[in-house]
Amino acid sequence: MVCKVQYYEKPVLNNPVLIEGLPGIGFVANITALQLIKELNAKLFAQIQSSYFQDLALTTGNGKTYFPTNQFYYAKGKDGKRDIIILYGNTQALTTIGQYELCGKILEISEDLGCKYILTVGGLRTKEKITNPDLYCTASDKETLQEALDLGAKIMKGHIFGVAGLLVGLCKLYEINGLCLLAETTGLYPDPVATRRVLKVINEMLNLKINLENLSEATEETREILKSFGIVSHSAVEKKGREADFRWFI
Amino acid sequence: MVCKVQYYEKPVLNNPVLIEGLPGIGFVANITALQLIKELNAKLFAQIQSSYFQDLALTTGNGKTYFPTNQFYYAKGKDGKRDIIILYGNTQALTTIGQYELCGKILEISEDLGCKYILTVGGLRTKEKITNPDLYCTASDKETLQEALDLGAKIMKGHIFGVAGLLVGLCKLYEINGLCLLAETTGLYPDPVATRRVLKVINEMLNLKINLENLSEATEETREILKSFGIVSHSAVEKKGREADFRWFI
Amino acid sequence: MVCKVQYYEKPVLNNPVLIEGLPGIGFVANITALQLIKELNAKLFAQIQSSYFQDLALTTGNGKTYFPTNQFYYAKGKDGKRDIIILYGNTQALTTIGQYELCGKILEISEDLGCKYILTVGGLRTKEKITNPDLYCTASDKETLQEALDLGAKIMKGHIFGVAGLLVGLCKLYEINGLCLLAETTGLYPDPVATRRVLKVINEMLNLKINLENLSEATEETREILKSFGIVSHSAVEKKGREADFRWFI
Amino acid sequence: MVCKVQYYEKPVLNNPVLIEGLPGIGFVANITALQLIKELNAKLFAQIQSSYFQDLALTTGNGKTYFPTNQFYYAKGKDGKRDIIILYGNTQALTTIGQYELCGKILEISEDLGCKYILTVGGLRTKEKITNPDLYCTASDKETLQEALDLGAKIMKGHIFGVAGLLVGLCKLYEINGLCLLAETTGLYPDPVATRRVLKVINEMLNLKINLENLSEATEETREILKSFGIVSHSAVEKKGREADFRWFI
């Protein structure tokens, strides 16, 4: 099967931007996606399951069962604003090949929905805790890069692993522009401060009014999922990394 | 080839339920499947061979040759009862990807046969030997979960590895409902006590009269296969785990 | 590409038997295939290259270049005898999946050529050097097994790794009968004694008159290939096993 | 996706020769390709991205973003000379299978463009630094080999790993002739001396006048890419080998 997509609905969208929100450093992308889904009242319309996800099921004691999955939500833009697709999930793929296959599928879906712009989100690990995190960016092309620089982002220097980097690298193959935004974070716990830094720029770029003060609910929800999986103890999620199978899974 | 299916017969079935019985903890699923095949006089109608099984043949000295395979049996329900498909085999796939591909193929076959309900079976490892093992469950949806809870199963909390978990996770993609039943077992040997616990609920759920007292034959057959492969010495099958190639193979 | 087949000719064959001769323990299959090709003056008609072979080229100083490949030869049977396909090569596939894909392709080619019988060959490792090696067998079905037993082979007990075992396991999916013949060998060097034991039975089964005394040329050729690759020093080829990439390559 | 090709233009070419220039020992092929692209003013017309490349993006601080990619350039031959295709890139594939899939795609593209001749380039590692490096060769056939021998190359003896070897091994499947040229190099840094040795023969073979004295720009560019990725410190690129993910990536 490799990647199997299940559509619940095929929305007709107006010049949509896709915002990627899969698990990663500081769970910045995850919290960003959750907050956008809540604030925009976004609607689930499709999900992907991949042969490169973990081969397991997880249950949490309240009867709710989790499986490795990536989900697509959409929100219609109000007052002539562009529509938004949100990619939320509890895992990335386990292997290099799996990541490419997953990104290929995400890009096919984006292309199919007329999406010409992809925004990926993540954390950039720092040693010290930072109260005013900087935002770093990289882009598929100069125009897109300039747009982020104009909003105060700095140029990223180094490696960007995972879907956040790969989508921006591959999007040109699909004639889609891509921008990656990374906020500084220690990455030790789901980080609402770094997330706020990202959402602030998203608000400006897309002319949105996402609530930046009330991120505690989305952060707590992310933390709860981690906890129930036995991955988080107290404030540290670093243990997660020890087990290769859980590289991306929350 | 990845997964190659060979059909000996294409049965026409009445609202069938598929019961999964591949090797796993305590060989509960294996013994369950063998007992169902014997008691229902089920008929072999198809088998799967996968590129993700072990690349070897095994011979046992009596001229009988074993290969890694998964087999499908069916039994027609009597007196208006629903038909039953039994998935029996001597292995699961060796890798994460192989497990997904295998489950995808099992679900395609299920869909093709009009199956709308999959029941997976397994053992839940305990440190101490238990005379009255509890039964745990998880399901693809609330209604299916409730059905198992009503019959005395408790809600499973934790990870379910392998086909037993994965089938329940993926079945929604095929519009199939899934239930996983796990009985407590030390997992040190093919366990008829844990198997009886599972079969008791299967009897109630499907209105069957599978003999619960005479599990020794199916247990012994499972033990004999393990022995002839040099995997079991005395009562312990744990050594099996040491060699990765034999992760699931019996 | 996975497996790419190149045909130089598509022979029309009369009830052909395929004899497998890929590298393995004691290089029994390799020498067997070389001797058959020489004695029957068999003609190369196709070759397979697989993504699961080693990603390298080998040159030997005399200008001759070797690549990982599997080749198919055929010889027309004289006086109404059945035709013979010989599978010769310098490698098996590197991974479990690669072995399955390779065997699937070999079986497809066999089916395509009307082949209903496959004979695989190999060595069965012994600790001591044996002057009169025994021959062991396993088969896809009882009739085929009995045929080998009647010619003095004993029933094999244990694991048969690689293409020799896998082809016999998978051939039933293609409605082909399969027999595996393994001769005792220390496996420390290309072994003409073990090969003679196998060829003797092949002569009887297929009513051939392959020269059993003059195996030195085929043995020497196999040894030379090993030597030029730096794999053999003196009489030991065991070092080969240390480098995983050379699992099967000669 | 495995290998995805993006065409910017489909050139009509006159009996073109493809020259491979992917990263490898001493970056001889890389510098060769860069010099050819500069001197021939070659034009980018296609690129490949593969699921077997690294799953990351790299940014270098000047705003330029690098992704793992292989690119195709072409230059029209002047005065009736044959056209040239140059394969340049910053990576080879990460796994054996990936290398085969990549080479299969390169050969498909070559076939599609009417290319009947492939020239691969590389370094042959020596312990000591050599001022007058020898050139070694291997070929798909005797005629092609002789052509290189006549120009002073010696016969290569040993293993040729990677795309340089594999393309020459596989090209026969596509009815393409292949030649591999390897110049002696310590491989410790991007080596213009070894590159000059290769380009000299390319000039003679293809009747070109590539500047052999001014290789510093292409060498420096290669070095800069390595540096900005933190792979090179001072003159050594050997550290690169330590991290498997960077096997081929520059």
In 3D, which of A89, A88, A102 has the Cα closest to residue A3?
A102
Q: Provide the pLDDT for residue A233.
A: 35
Q: Which residues are registered as beta bridge partners of B183?
A: B123, B135
Question: Hey, are the CB atoms on A157 and D56 less than 8 Å from each other?
Answer: no
Residues of D in contact with C56 (CB under 8 A): 159-162, 165-166, 169
Assess whether pLDDT exceeds 70 at residue C238.
Answer: no
Residues of B in contact with C159 (CB under 8 A): 56-58
Chain D residue numbers touching C59 (CB-CB < 8 A): 138, 155-158, 160
Q: Is the pLDDT of residue C56 over 50?
A: yes
- pLDDT for B62 beyond 70: no
Name the nearest CA neighbour of B71 among B88, B58, B85. B88
Q: D55, A173: Cβ pair inside 8 Å?
A: no
Out of A193-197, C42-46, C92-96, C101-105, pick the least confident: C92-96
Neighbours of B142 (CB within 10 A): 11
pLDDT of residue A250: 52
- Residue B230, pLDDT score: 53
- Cβ within 8 Å of residue B90, ≥6 positions away: B23, B66, B68, B69, B225, B249, B250
Segment A195-205 mean pLDDT: 97
CA of A106: which chain D residue's CA is closest?
D1
B102 phi/psi in degrees, rounded to 5: -65, -45
Q: What is the ipTM of this complex?
A: 0.78
Please indicate if any CB of chain D lies within 8 Å of the CB of A165. yes
Which residue matches tokens 């017969």?
Answer: B9
The shortest C-alpha distance from B179 to chain C (Å) reads 31
Whether chain C has a CB inside 8 Å of the CB on B64: the answer is no
The confidence score (pLDDT) of residue B236 equals: 31
Average pLDDT of the segment spanning D2-27: 94
In b/e form, how buried is each residue of B51-86, taking b as 16+ CB within 10 angstroms?
bbbbbbbbbbeebebbbbbbbbbbbbbeeeebbbbb
Decide if pLDDT at A30 tops 80.
yes
D182: number of Cβ within 10 Å: 32
Q: How far is CA C198 from CA C29, C119, C120, C160, C223, in A?
A: 9, 11, 10, 16, 19
CB contact under 8 A, C49 and D166: no
- Residues B165 and B153: their CA atoms lie apart, in Å, by 16
For residue D229, give the chain A residue with the closest CA. Answer: A158
What pLDDT is stored for residue B92 in this prediction? 92
Partners of C156 on chain B (C-beta within 8 Å) are 59
Interface contact flag, D53 A180, Cβ < 8 Å: no
**Residue D121 CB neighbour total at 10 angstroms:** 29
pLDDT of residue C240: 33
Question: Testing the interface with D: which of A106, A137, A159 to mutate, by most D Cβ within 10 A?
Answer: A159
3 state SS of D32: helix
Higher pLDDT, D242 or B144: B144
Whether residue C67 lies within 8 A of chain D, CB to CB, comes out as yes
The alpha carbon of residue B194 is apart from the nearest alpha carbon of chain A, in Å, by 21
pLDDT at position C205 over 60: yes
A97–D52 CB contact, under 8 Å? yes
Provide the residue type at B67 as one letter: F
Instruction: Tell me chain C's radius of gyration from C-alpha atoms.
Output: 17
pLDDT reading at C105 higher than 70: yes
Contacts B118 to A, Cβ<8 Å:
none
Q: Which of D172, D185, D110, D108 is nearest to D138 (CA)?
A: D172
For residue A202, give the nearest of A29, A1, A12 by alpha carbon. Answer: A29
Note the pTM of the prediction, 2 decimals: 0.83
Q: Does A187 touch chain B (CB under 8 A)?
A: no
Residue pLDDT, tens place only, B21-38:
999 999 999 999 999 999
Share of chain C above pLDDT 70, in %: 89
Confidence of residue D1 (pLDDT cuts 50, 70, 90): confident
Query: Distance between CA atoms of D92 and D86, rounded to whole angstroms?
Result: 15
Nearest to C104 among B1, B56, B58 (CB): B1
Q: Which residue spans within chain C are E strands per DSSP?
A: 3-7, 17-21, 43-50, 56-60, 65-66, 70-75, 84-89, 117-125, 135-139, 154-155, 157-161, 177-185
Separation in Å, CA of A76 to nearest CA in chain D? 30
Rounded Cα distance between A69 and A64, Å, is 15
Tell me the average pLDDT of chain A: 87
Strand partners, C65: C59
pLDDT at A187 over 90: no
Helix (H, G, I), strand (E, B) or coil at C133: coil
**Long-range contacts of A155-161, Cβ-Cβ distance < 8 Å, separation of 24 or more:** A155/D59, A155/D61, A155/D62, A155/D63, A156/A124, A156/A180, A156/A182, A156/D59, A157/D59, A157/D60, A157/D61, A158/D58, A158/D59, A158/D230, A159/D56, A159/D57, A159/D58, A160/A122, A160/D56, A160/D57, A160/D58, A160/D59, A161/D55, A161/D56
Cross-chain Cβ contact D99/C65 below 8 Å: no
How far the first Cα of chain A sits from its last, in Å, is 23
Question: Pick the residue with more confidence: A106 or B232?
Answer: A106
- The answer to whether D244 contacts chain A (CB < 8 Å) is no
Q: Which of C2, C52, C100, C146 to probe the B interface (max B CBs under 10 A)?
A: C100
pLDDT of residue B56: 83
Q: State percent of chain C over pLDDT 90.
A: 68
Name the token pair of B40: 């229902």
pLDDT tens for each residue of D24-34: 999 999 999 99
Considering only CA atoms, which of B207, B208, B163 is closest in space to residue B182?
A: B163
Residue type, D162: G
Pick from C7, C6, A50, C249: nearest CA to D104: C6
Q: By three-state DSSP, how is residue D17 classified?
A: strand
Mean pLDDT of chain C: 87
- Subunits that touch chain D (at least 3 Cβ pairs < 8 angstroms)? A, C
Contact B75, B41 (CB under 8 A): yes
Q: Does D140 touch chain C (CB under 8 A)?
A: yes
Which range among A22-26, A70-74, C233-237 shows the weakest confidence by mean pLDDT? C233-237
Closest CA in chain C for residue D96: C55
pLDDT band (50, 70, 90) for residue A63: low
Rounded mean pLDDT of D82-90? 96
Instruction: Please report all neighbours of A, defined by 3+ CB atom pairs within 8 A.
Output: B, D
On chain B, the residues whose CB falls within 8 A of the CB of A61 are 155, 157
Question: In 3-state terms, what secondary structure has residue C84?
Answer: strand
For residues B172 and B8, the model is more confident at B8
Flag if C58 and D96 touch (Cβ within 8 Å): no
Distances (CA, A) of C108 to C15, C20, C104, C177, C241: 16, 14, 6, 14, 30
Residue with tokens 């903890």: B25
Q: What percent of chain D has pLDDT over 70?
A: 89
What is the model's pLDDT at position D67?
85
Contact criterion met (CB below 8 Å) for A2 and A9? no
Average pLDDT over residues D188-212: 95
B227 φ, ψ (degrees, to nearest 5): -60, -50
The answer to whether B179 faces chain A, any CB pair under 8 Å, is: no
Of the candidates C121, D106, D55, C29, the one whose C-alpha atom is nearest the C-alpha of residue A120 is D55
The end-to-end CA distance of chain C, in Å, is 23
